[in-house]
Amino acid sequence: MSSLNSTFFEIEVDGGVAHLAMNRPEKANGMSPDFWEDLPRLTKELEQDMTIRAMVISGKGKHFTGGMDLSAFGSIMDLLKSEPGRSSYEMRKLVLKLQNSFNALEEARFPVIAAIHGACIGGGIDMISACDIRLASNDATFSIEEINIGMTADVGTLQRLPKLMAPGIVKELAYTGRRFSAIEAKDWGFINTICDSPQDVLVKAIDLARQIATKSPLAISGIKKSIDYARDHNVADGLNQIATWNGGMLRPEDLMGAIKAKMEKKQAVFADLLQSK
């Protein structure tokens, strides 16, 4: 865990909960190159620490994030000036790399909770779509911004958002790029809870992460894997997947420990997953 450092994120680990706070408030937490490098690296490093059972992502300052830093588009334009076939090949590589930064959140063994306030624009939608749970303050606003700069969103929004809310609504928002509110996002099922203030949303996100951290990490990982699997497969495949999971992973220690604690009206304590050697 000694390598948990970042030029973009402020990192805090406490009681089984990791908190990554985007710390570039003077630029509305615009996603500069170090963001795209650090997010997947930190997520994967935290995964290796089996005491970590949940993660929260927030943003410092007035806004959650303004999306991709505009300076990044300069390098993209330079890339597109090269020979068409080769520049297209490199452009595809770049898009896949950016996608993998958010895939890391979805693939993590632990739940990831987004604590959103202020503006969440463009790449911010891509990121929170890859999180497990989204909480927002009542001042939060959202926008699939890419259409407003003449491009199609390509880092996960158009793939994940229709799994979270009605495709027709997603199309309207992607076609127009209009801002939508936390109330609209909650009504559509995109946001779990609306909180009174930016401070409150972070407190609630940390509290929720701590609650999750008290549960069996093996069962939590199984829930995340099974729900995501069911999203991408039919019901029969999903039922087969969870039967196989529990056939291999359901063991008496967690099960009987939880039942015993419940009968004694105590908080069950679950062992961490095994640390990789």
Report how far apart, in Å, the C-alpha atoms of 199 and of each of 66, 107, 195 are.
19, 28, 9
* Residue at 268 is within a domain: no
Task: Count CB neighbours of 116 within 10 A.
Answer: 33
Give the residue numbers spanning the domain of 172: 9-213
How is 107-120 classified by DSSP, letter by letter? HSSS-EEEEE-SEE
Element (H, E) at 35: helix 33-47
All residue ranges of the chain with pLDDT < 70 are 1-3, 73-74, 277
* Residue at 2 is within a domain: no
* Residue at 271 is within a domain: no
What does the radius of gyration of the chain's CA atoms come to, in whole angstroms?
20
pLDDT at 275: 81
Q: How far apart are CA 198 and CA 164, in angstroms?
A: 24
Q: What is the pLDDT of residues 183-240, one digit of tens each?
A: 999 999 999 999 999 999 999 999 999 999 999 999 999 999 999 999 999 999 999 9
Q: What is the pLDDT of residues 127-145, one digit of tens each?
A: 999 999 999 999 999 999 9
Closest CA to 21 of 57, 68, 66, 45: 57
Both 192 and 179 in a single domain? yes
pLDDT at 81: 80
Both 101 and 225 in a single domain? no
For residue 134, the domain's CATH number is 3.90.226.10
pLDDT at 3: 67
Q: How far apart are CA 249 and CA 9, in angstroms?
A: 34
Q: How many residues does the chain have?
A: 277
Place of tokens 């990789």: 276
pLDDT at 277: 65
Both 240 and 156 in a single domain? no
Both 162 and 105 in a single domain? yes
Quick check: 170 and 190 in contact, CB under 8 A?
A: no
Handedness of CA 216, 217, 218, 220 (dihedral sign): positive
For residue 221, the domain's CATH number is 1.10.12.10
Q: Tokens for 50?
A: 């089996």
Q: Above pLDDT 70, what percent of the chain?
A: 97
Q: Residue type at 47?
A: E
Please give the tally of structural domains in the chain.
Answer: 2
